[in-house]
Amino acid sequence: MMSLRILHIEDNEDDLLLTARHLANSGLAVEIDRAETLDGIRVALTRGSYDVVLADFELGGFNGIDALAIVREADAYLPFILVSGEVGEPVAVALMRAGAQDFVMKDSLARLAPVIEREVREAEVRRERDQAEHANIIKSEFLASMSHELRTPLNSIIGFSSILSSGLAGELNEEQAKQIAMVHEAGEHLLALVNDILDISKIEADKFELTADEFLLLDAVSAARELTASLWRDKGLTFEIIDECPGCAVVTDRRALDQILRNLVGNAVKFTETGGITIRTRTAQHARVSIDVIDTGIGIATQELALVFDEFHQTRKARNYAHGTGLGLAISRKLAGALGGEIRVSSAEGVGTTFTLTIPCALDTVTGECVGTE
């Protein structure tokens, strides 16, 4: 077992030895360095790498709060534990507010080893979490920047290929028309991917601006049906709306809700060859409403259900079935979370899939119930 490196800020030799003996008896493997002055603390933190700092409060010319300030300047995550005699509650509260992790009385040193082990673990968790969040922000900012840079040339490719396909720049033979159509389709696909990446990076960087609009739930569902009409009509599918929540209203970002519904319906159409799509609206628990997007498509294997919302993930069948960016469902789940809601999925292979979006409803100020419900 690796030893924990401890910086002990203590001006009393007997107390230093007593603490070291308690830690040794606890079975905790430690290496202890001592600092007695503010300069000594600075030098120790510069020269060494420590897992935890222990400090007395009264330290001859300075106190534990002064020591904590120096430790925090050097390392925001390094656990700082006060080990002292009697100090008042105001002092303990001040230290905790300043960033100390815990306080152990010198007559209760049996507590010290478990506290050290816990705080070292929690500090590592905090450090890793913050590093991951920072890396995620950097990634999102990079993707957003790159997406903006890619949009301009892609729009040019799509625009000029469209002009060529129309014959405005001269007539094309059959093979030329086929090749230009492939360029145009590839450009459209890549632009959709860039737009999806831009959306997801905005959401992750908390830069996706939301507004609070009040509107009928049925209006949003009907709009989703019309906006995707060319998709499901071209495949000969039916599209039914079952409104079990007539008059239900929501106060949420309309643009974000529209995008979620377009993604869910588009996904349903993509993997459905016969039958159709059904959207059902209904009330849910805890002042919420649900929208079920139901298809009669190929379904999703049970072992893959937990992965469908992962970025760039496509199920085994989907990879052989249809083209997509692999970001639509990930974006939808993140947008649902931003709206204070969630998306769940249930499916059976060969039968179909249901995605359920649940979001807060607009509340009646008199009854406290969802607007439009009895």
List the end-to-end C-alpha distance of the chain, in Å, as a whole number: 65
Confidence of residue 224 (pLDDT cuts 50, 70, 90): very high
Quote the pLDDT of residue 95: 84
Pairing of strands 213-216, 80-84: unpaired
Confidence of residue 374 (pLDDT cuts 50, 70, 90): low
Helices (H), the chain: 13-25, 38-47, 64-74, 89-98, 112-166, 174-204, 217-227, 229-234, 254-270, 316-319, 328-338
- What does the pLDDT average to over 356-374? 80
Does the pLDDT value for residue 9 go beyond 80? yes
- Among residues 280, 269, 272, which one has the least CA distance to residue 241? 280
- Enumerate the β-bridge partners of residue 358: 290, 342
- In angstroms, the CA 255 to CA 249 distance is 15
| Fold annotation for 4-128 | Rossmann fold (3.40.50)
- Enumerate the β-bridge partners of residue 7: 33, 53
| CATH architecture of the region 213-360 | 2-Layer Sandwich (3.30)
Confidence of residue 246 (pLDDT cuts 50, 70, 90): confident
This prediction's pTM: 0.59
Work out the mean pLDDT of the chain and round it to a whole number.
Answer: 87
Quote the pLDDT of residue 197: 76
More confident position, 58 or 279: 279
Say what percent of the chain tops pLDDT 70. 94
More confident position, 288 or 366: 288
- Sorted by where each begins, the domain ranges of the chain are 4-128, 132-204, 213-360
- In angstroms, the CA 198 to CA 71 distance is 40
Kindly report, residue by residue over 313-356, the tens digit of the pLDDT: 666 555 555 556 678 899 999 999 999 999 999 999 889 999 99
Quote the pLDDT of residue 41: 93
